[in-house]
Each structure stands twice: as structure tokens, then as C-alpha cells.
Structure 1
Amino acid sequence: MRGARLALVAIGLLIAGASAHAQTYDPSYPVCMQIYGQVGYFDCRYASLEQCRFLAVGRSAACVVNPYFTRKPSPRRSRRVD
């Protein structure tokens, strides 16, 4: 019985220690290039789809809209009434 408990604890530690996947999208830019190959990855540093498509010509890649892009709020000007 003690061996079974030890085995369960060991299995639990192995599962808990498994590598976690990092976020693949950079939330700073609105467009990402998805590069295909043996090691596929996302390159999120494009300001527009046109810019991304221009740089993707001749590559095994596709441009996608970044679902995690967070637009920074623009500073609001308050109207002053005198």
C-alpha cells in the first residue's frame, strides 16, 4: 500500500512538473506572421497586414490578426469651460 501511494505521488509530481507552453502571441503588435516549417512559430512585430504580407513573400508563412493585441487607450483631453 505504501508503494502505491509513493507511485501516485511520483506520477503527480511528474505531471505537475511538465513543461508549460508560453504565449505565442506578443500583445504589443496587431499583426503576426505565422512561419511554417520543422519548428513553426509566430513573429508578432508588424503594424499592418500589408507590412506583414510584403515581408512574407517567398516564405512559407501566413499573416494573421493578433487575437491578444491590446490597444493602449489614447489620452483624453478634457474640455475646459470658462
Structure 2
Amino acid sequence: MHRPRLALVVIGLLLAGGSARAQTYDPSYPVCMQIYGPVGYFDCRYGSLEQCRYLAVGRSASCVVNPYFSQRKPPPSRRSRRGAADTE
């Protein structure tokens, strides 16, 4: 009699738990704050290590460079051959 109850409790706990998402870095910002604790996570919304460190004071956290930061470079400028010929 105890095993069916235990099985129902276990099944209920498994169904009650939400789906877990994998932790990802936000590629929009170059620096992330890693917060430690029972539920550790990365908060990636800092423009510099100094900014992150300033906001991490007094917390159980550290600042790390975001390995997935996508640096947006300006497109290469197009030089016309006609403009270069005019200067000679």
C-alpha cells in the first residue's frame, strides 16, 4: 500500500517542477556578473568591468568577461576609384 502512494507522490513532484532553461550569456554586453548562492546565475548587462565591480560590492558575486559578446564593427568604408584618381 505504501509503494503506490510513494509512486504517486514522486510523479506529482516531477510534474509540479517547471521546465529548466539552460543558462546562457547575453551576447549584447561585454561583461557579466556571476551571482553565487542557492540559485546562481549570470547577469550580463554591464558595459565595463569597473561598472560591474562597483555594483558587485557587498554581494556574493564576481565579474567576468562575456565570452559570447559580439563586437559590432562598422562596415568597411567604400572608396571610389574616381575620387582617388582626382587627387593625383
1:22 maps to which residue?
Answer: 22
Whichever structure has more helix as a proportion of its residues is: 2
Q: TM-score, normalising length from structure 2? A: 0.64
| Number of residue equivalences | 64
Deviation at 1:24, TM superposition (A): 2.1
- Structure 1 residue ranges, 4+ long, deviating more than 4 angstroms after superposition: none
Q: How does 1:38-57 map to 2 (within 5 A)?
A: 38-57=38-57
Give the gaps of 5 or more residues in structure 2.
1-18, 83-88
SS of residue paired to 2:55? helix
Q: TM-score, normalising length from structure 1? A: 0.68
Which amino acid in the other structure matches residue 53 of structure 1?
R
**CA RMSD, aligned part only?**
1.5
Q: Whole-Å Cα distance in 1 between the matches of residues 77 and 48 of structure 2?
A: 27
Deviation at 1:21, TM superposition (A): 4.5
